[in-house]
Amino acid sequence: MEFNNKVVVITGAGQGIGRAYAHEFSKAGAAVVVADLNIAAAQNVEAEIKAAGGRALAVQVDVADKASADALVAQTLAAFGSVDVLINNAAIFSTLKMKPFEEIDGDEWDRVMAVNARGVFFCAQAVAKPMRAKGYGKIINISSSVVVTGRANYAHYVASKGAVVALTRALATELGDDGINVNAISPHGIVTEVPRDTIKPEQWDAILSAQALKRKGDVSDMIGATMFLASDASKYITGQTLNVDAGLRFN
C-alpha cells in the first residue's frame, strides 16, 4: 500500500509498535509525525526516518492534555499542510504493576484513563476539524485483547481499552457524514523492544496455548492491519475492531 502525499500522525511513536509504524508508513511514502511525550525518543525516530530519505517531524505531546493535542495538530498542519491519518497508539501499560483491583488507588486509575482513553478522545477532537474540511480522514485507535479476556490485576487498563472500543463506535457514527473512517485494532501478545515486566516467562505458555497460532507476535504483525485501515482499501469499513490476536480463544 502506498501513502504518497499522505500525512500520518502517530502518538507514542518514540518506541515499540509506534516506532515501527513510523518507519513503515515513511517507507510507503507518507510524511510522518512522530508524536511522543519523550521528545528525545521522538527526535531519534525522526532522525532515523530522515537518514533513510523520508519525511518526518518529531513533536512532544501529552495526549491527556487537550492543549497539547491541539498543538500537535497545529504543528503538523504548519509543517505538512494536512492530516490524513491519526493512529492513537500512545498508552500506559508496560510500566504498570500487577495488583488486585482493590489496591488500585484513584490517582493511578485516573492516570491510566487519562492517557489511554481521554488521550484518544482529545487527539480525535484535534484532527476532526482539518479532516472535516478535507472531507477525508482515517482514525485508528489501538485497543487490546484484554477487553474480551478481562485480564486480572489490570482493571484500570482493561477498562481504558474497553473505552477505546466504545469511543471508536461513537466517533464512527458521528464522523461518517464527513468522510472520516474510525476503526480500532485489538492486538494480543505483541513483543517489542520495550521491556515488559507485566508478562513473566512462565506466563507465555498459557498465553500461547490460548492462541490458534502458537507463536508470539511482533511489530510486523501489526503493520499490515494498520496500513489496511489507514488506506483507501478500507474506505467502506468504519466503526469496527480488527482483532490481531493469533486466533485468541478465551473461556
Question: Catalytic site residues?
Answer: 157
Query: Within a 13 Å sphere around the CA of 190, how many CA atoms are in the beta-carbon half?
Result: 26
Cell 473461556 belongs to residue: 251
Residue 143, all three cell numbers: 485497543
Cell readout for 51 is 537518514
Cell of 86: 491519526
Q: What cell was used for 150?
A: 478481562
**CA torsion through residues 14, 15, 16, 20, sign:** positive
Residues 6 or more apart whose CB falls under 8 angstroms from that of 225 comprise 185, 242, 244
